[in-house]
Every structure is written in C-alpha cells, then in structure tokens.
Amino acid sequence: MGIFGPGDFAGEACLADRNPRSMTATSLSPCRLVRIERDAAKRTLREDPVFSERFLAYLLVHNLRVQEDLIDQLLNSSERRLARALLILAEAGEPRRGGMAIPRVSQAVLAEMIGTTRSRVSYFMNRFRKLGHLEYDGVVIVHSTLRQVVPDN
C-alpha cells in the first residue's frame, strides 16, 4: 500500500518483466492519470534524457521510502507507525488552522497501512487528539508536534 503524489509513477515494475500485475488504486482526492504503454516507456527512457533523469530520481526516492517503511514495520510500535503515516499524509494535505488537513482516509485503511487493527488506530487517534497532536471533526488536522512521537532516523 502506498501514497502517491503529483508527478509520481505507479506500476513501474512492469518495465522489469512481462508478467501481468494486479493492483487496485483509490484516489483520496481528484487526480489525473496518464497511462504509458510499456514499449513507449522503454523507448522514452532510452531517447529522452530529461524523462530518464526524472524517472531515475523517482525510483531512488521511492526505493528509500520502501526501505524506511520496512524498517518502520520491523522496529517501531504501531503507535509510531500511525504517527509516521499521518505525517506522510499531512505532507500531501492542505494547510488549515495551524496544521495540515490530511486527505480523507478511513481508520480501517490506516490500520491496513500500518499493520494493526482499526480499534488500535482509533485508540491512538484519540490519544494523539488528547495530547494536542491532532484534531478532528470530520477533517483530521495534523500538528507538527506529532513529530515528537516518531523517532529520528
């Protein structure tokens, strides 16, 4: 499961082999997608240095994020994983009242993202709210103080 932003690529693994892949994507906000056929993508990577550089930069950043996610799953508590997920979502959010409004996402989806139950997510969300790290009333606003819950890497 991942969160993609403007300019991100998805499905890039199909360039490595011809096996069909099955994915489901859900948009948290209005978006525009561009589908590039495999052969056209490979040709563009060979012939367009600007596109190749951008694609390579994306792959490197994406690889680092996957490594961070793996370390997060192996070493951090579900509370810290939720805090990290909320902060990542806040990066894609809109500024609001001293914080960032995250895109609308259910507690069940958050639970899947961090590998725990919806009830644990609910517990931690209430705890974060009581500590002043976030507020919610239909919209979740994440405050920068939530960074205190996430260990430095």
**Angstrom distance (rounded) from CA 43 to CA 64:** 26
Residues 91/100, Cβ–Cβ less than 8 Å: yes
Residues 128/146, Cβ–Cβ less than 8 Å: yes
Residues 98/142, Cβ–Cβ less than 8 Å: no
**Angstrom distance (rounded) from CA 105 to CA 28:** 7
pLDDT of residue 128: 96
pLDDT of residue 27: 75
- Specify whether the backbone of 130 is left (phi greater than 0), alpha (psi in -120 to 50) or beta: alpha
Give buried/exposed letters for 77-97 (b at 16+ CB in 10 A, else e). ebbbbbbbbbbbbbeebeeee
Regions of the chain short of the pLDDT cut 70: 1-2, 21, 151-153
Note the residue count of the chain: 153
- pTM exceeds 0.75: no
pLDDT of residue 51: 93
Distances (CA, A) of 130 to 15, 75, 87, 119, 133: 47, 25, 17, 17, 8
Its CATH architecture, for the domain 77-149, is Orthogonal Bundle (1.10)
On the 0-12 / 13-18 / 19+ scale of CB atoms within 10 A, 26 is exposed
pLDDT of residue 46: 95
**Angstrom distance (rounded) from CA 33 to CA 151:** 35
Intervals of CATH 1.10.10.10 along the chain: 77-149
